[in-house]
Amino acid sequence: MKYLALVLLVAAAWGQSPKYGVGRAPTAEEVKAWAITVFPDGRGLPEGSGTAAEGKDVYERRCQRCHGSEGKGGDEPPIVGGKGTIATPKPLKTVGSYWPYATTLFDYIRRAMPFKDPGMLTANQTYAVSAYILQQNGLIGANEAMNAKTLPQVKMPNKDGFIADPRPDTGKGAKK
Ligand code: HEC
């Protein structure tokens, strides 16, 4: 029994599964590289800053060919417009009309855009292009810097348009 505990301990220290003896624990560096989640309240936003005026250039070079002029849509979905359409029979879901948080825009772009080269933008460029999209949606001014402090403060029009998922396993349903 003592021996088994020792084996388990050593295996755990190496990050190997005791059963198969494969793999290793990720290093702190590796975990850090993957742990890039930005939460709705802004936790996880990195240092850096950018304005819409700066982001226009990033947008035109890296995003426009898919999302169209000024984000109004091209071969890929529009990310600008649709204001006031969400509660109508023809909702146009964009960042401006639909998304509840501005913070997750940063997360999404950093994680997934440009579609074929995600991860290529610097933090400053990601803030700037986020600012550009918010500005095109009429939510901030062209020279308002977006950063870890200001991005969580942007008021998104559809913030209250979502309801908590009442299924019991989400932990958010009505209390019994
Ligand atoms: C090669 C084409 C392409 C390029 C370039 C591209 N995108 Fe996208 N983008 C897409 C596609 C396709 C989707 C939809 C992905 C999905 O739904 O899984 C998308 C989705 C998005 C969305 C989410 C829209 C929504 O409401 O669901 C945002 C925001 C976005 N892109 C921003 C950007 C930004 C910013 C850039 C430039 C840095 C960029 N994209 C460059 C193809 C592209």
Is the beta carbon of 79 within 6 A of some atom in ligand 1?
yes
Is the beta carbon of 117 within 6 A of some atom in ligand 1?
no
Convert the pLDDT of each residue in 15-72 to its tens digit: 666 788 888 999 999 998 889 999 999 999 999 999 999 999 999 999 999 999 999 9
Q: At a CB cut-off of 8 Å and minimum separation 6, what does 95 contact?
A: 71, 79, 80, 105, 133, 134, 137
Q: At a CB cut-off of 8 Å and minimum separation 6, what does 137 contact?
A: 71, 80, 81, 83, 94, 95, 96, 97
In Å, how far are 15, 29, 68, 129 from 12, measured between CA atoms? 5, 19, 51, 43
- Return the ligand 1 atom nearest residue 105 CA: 29
Is the beta carbon of 56 within 6 A of some atom in ligand 1?
no
Is the beta carbon of 154 within 6 A of some atom in ligand 1?
no
CA distance 48 to 87: 36
Please give the distance, rounded to the nearest whole angstrom, from the Cα atom of residue 113 to the centre of ligand 1.
6
Please name the residue that has the structure tokens 């994680």. 111
Convert the pLDDT of each residue in 88-134 to its tens digit: 999 999 999 999 999 999 999 999 999 999 999 999 999 999 999 99
